[in-house]
């Protein structure tokens, strides 16, 4: 099968690009020919990223890309379909929806004024949340966003053969916004992870956060929760982002400077030592995670996760089995859950062991490729999605 991947970026950048690269390499290993149409090269590990593709070519004009590649199927990822001239006629076209950009003018799916998750259908009510304002490069830094354009983009995407999403929550979001149930299916965007040795839970009370330092990731909520934890602990924050200065200021305000360490950006190859040295991993997301790949990474290392019950997180975090779920933005409940695990190394070990068993059984890369191949071919699935 000749498969034309379509994504804004060529080269490593974030979770989407990791999924694109791993998927192409996996499909190529099964005898398929994969191509990539892109808008921008990231310059990061380009040769490694491109190893799964026969050719990577500029996206525009897109009709010329399709004519050149002659794909059996087009597999879209993060793109603006309207900006490409719309859905190509005559080609089976599938799109993986990785985030909330398609259905949310603000892209975050939570309210600007109180940070709570938005559960309403996209439309003119979005103006009440200042959704007509967006970020822009340059000195002005603010751009006007047309909600009419957003609604038009959704109409264009309804013409595609199939939309894939990572979680039940994302599927419900698309259906709420007018996509037919039969046109939306679930495929968690698994990335290739080698089997990890299950190492003992450390005796030290080390908590780990891995991710971007932006408002939607809720690190401020984690810090406020930790201010209520009586046990001795150390929090390591791995990642970078525009909220770092504010988070450091919040640490000082809460008196947590001696307990919190900002490690900055860490190469993926170096993350293992952080996971192995942690007793528990925290996922304090404010926004409704479309899936939450960082949780699977923690589970691969056999570490329990404490997370807010938002978005796609409950698709992989089973409360009391692989970690603990707490109510959205309930910092008191987050504090109690962390305190509970910090004081019980035996339970941490049990949850971590069960987490590793489940991630291997339910989110294997080979099973992911099996299901994706069926979607690409347009065949009925021979296996059910992970439960």
Query: For the ranges 77-81, 272-276, 323-327, which has the lowest average pLDDT?
Result: 77-81
Query: What pLDDT is recorded for position 267?
Result: 82
Fold type of domain 206-362: Rossmann fold (3.40.50)
Please state, in angstroms and rounded to a whole number, the distance separating the CA atoms of residues 241 and 239.
7
Q: Are 42 and 21 in contact (CB under 8 A)?
A: no
Contacts of 369 (CB under 8 A, 6+ apart): 23, 26, 27, 30
Contact 299, 356 (CB under 8 A): yes
**How far is residue 188 from each of residues 157, 178, 266, 371, measured CA to CA in Å?**
20, 22, 25, 10
Closest CA to 210 of 101, 288, 301, 115: 301
* Separation between Cα atoms, residue 217 and residue 284, nearest integer Å: 6
- DSSP one-letter code for 110: B
Average pLDDT over residues 196-200: 91
**Does the pLDDT value for residue 330 go beyond 50?**
yes
**Structural class in CATH, domain 2-191+364-377:** alpha beta
Nearest to 345 by CA among 202, 235, 206: 202
Residue 383, pLDDT score: 47
Residue predicted with more confidence, 294 or 83: 294
Range of lowest pLDDT (109-118, 310-319, 326-335, 369-378): 109-118
Whether the CB-CB separation of 253 and 223 falls below 8 Å is answered with no
Helices 293-300 and 345-362 meet at what angle, rounded to 10? Answer: 110
Q: CA-CA-CA-CA torsion for 62, 96, 371, 42, nearest 10 degrees?
A: 70
Q: Which two tokens stand for residue 242?
A: 């525009």
**Whether the Cβ atoms of residue 301 and residue 288 lie closer than 8 Å to each other:** no
Asked if residue 299 lies in contact with residue 320, where contact means CB atoms within 8 angstroms, the answer is: no
Euclidean distance between CA atoms 205 and 209, whole angstroms: 13
On average, the pLDDT of the chain sits at 91
Domain with CATH 3.40.50.2000 in the chain: 2-191+364-377, 206-362
On whether the CB atoms of residues 328 and 308 are closer than 8 A, the answer is yes
Residue linked to tokens 């003992």: 200
Q: Is the pLDDT reported for residue 342 higher than 50?
A: yes
pLDDT digits over 237-266, tens only?
A: 999 999 999 999 999 999 999 999 999 988
Omega cis (within 30) before 61: yes
**Residue 374 and residue 347: Cα distance in Å, rounded?**
39
pLDDT given for residue 6 in this prediction: 97
HSE-CB at 37 with a 13 A cutoff on CA atoms is: 25
Mean pLDDT across 55-77: 92
Question: 110-124 pLDDT, tens per residue?
Answer: 888 888 998 888 887
What are the pLDDT digits (tens) for 119-158? 888 887 777 776 666 666 666 667 677 778 888 889 999 9
pLDDT tens column, 271-306 = 999 999 999 999 999 999 999 999 999 999 999 999
Given a cut of 60, whether residue 376 has pLDDT beyond it is: yes
Of all helices (H) and strands (E), which one includes residue 76?
strand 73-76
Highest mean pLDDT among 9-13, 61-65, 93-97, 265-269: 93-97
* 242: three-class secondary structure by DSSP: coil
pLDDT tens for 87-107 read 777 789 999 999 999 998 878
pLDDT at 139: 64
* Predicted structure pTM score: 0.89
């Amino acid at each position: 099968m000749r498969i034309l991947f379509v994504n804004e970026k060529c080269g490593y950048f974030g979770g989407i690009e990791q999924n694109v690269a791993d998927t192409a390499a996996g499909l190529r290993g099964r005898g398929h020919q994969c191509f990539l149409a892109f808008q921008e090269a990231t310059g990061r590990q380009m040769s490694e990223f491109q190893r799964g593709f026969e050719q990577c070519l500029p996206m525009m004009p897109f009709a010329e890309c399709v004519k050149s590649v002659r794909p059996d199927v087009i597999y879209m990822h993060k793109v603006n379909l309207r900006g490409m001239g719309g859905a190509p006629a005559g080609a089976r076209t599938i799109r993986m929806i990785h985030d909330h950009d398609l259905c949310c003018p603000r892209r975050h799916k939570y309210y600007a004024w109180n940070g709570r998750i938005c559960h309403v259908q996209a439309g003119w009510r979005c103006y009440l949340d200042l959704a007509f304002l967006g970020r822009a490069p340059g000195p002005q830094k603010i751009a006007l966003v047309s909600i009419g354009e957003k609604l038009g983009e959704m109409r264009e995407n309804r013409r595609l053969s199939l939309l894939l999403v990572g979680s039940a929550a994302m599927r419900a979001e698309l259906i709420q916004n007018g996509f037919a149930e039969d046109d939306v299916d679930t495929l968690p965007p698994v990335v290739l992870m080698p089997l990890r040795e299950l190492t003992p839970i450390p005796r030290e009370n080390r908590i780990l956060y891995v991710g971007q330092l932006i408002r939607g990731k809720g690190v401020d909520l984690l810090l406020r929760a930790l201010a209520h934890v009586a046990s001795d602990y150390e929090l390591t924050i791995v990642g970078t982002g525009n909220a770092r200065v504010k988070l450091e200021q919040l640490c000082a305000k809460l008196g947590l400077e001696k307990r919190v360490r900002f490690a900055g950006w860490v190469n993926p190859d170096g993350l293992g030592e952080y996971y192995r040295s942690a007793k528990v991993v925290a996922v304090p997301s404010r926004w409704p995670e479309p899936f939450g790949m960082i949780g699977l990474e923690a589970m691969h290392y056999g570490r329990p996760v404490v997370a807010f019950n938002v978005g796609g997180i409950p698709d992989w975090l089973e409360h009391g089995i692989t970690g603990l779920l707490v109510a959205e933005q309930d910092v008191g409940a987050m504090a109690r859950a962390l305190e509970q695990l910090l004081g019980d190394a035996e339970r941490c070990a049990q949850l971590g062991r069960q987490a590793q068993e489940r991630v291997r059984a339910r989110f294997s890369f080979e099973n992911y490729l099996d299901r994706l191949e069926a979607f690409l071919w347009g065949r009925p699935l021979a296996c059910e999605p992970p439960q």
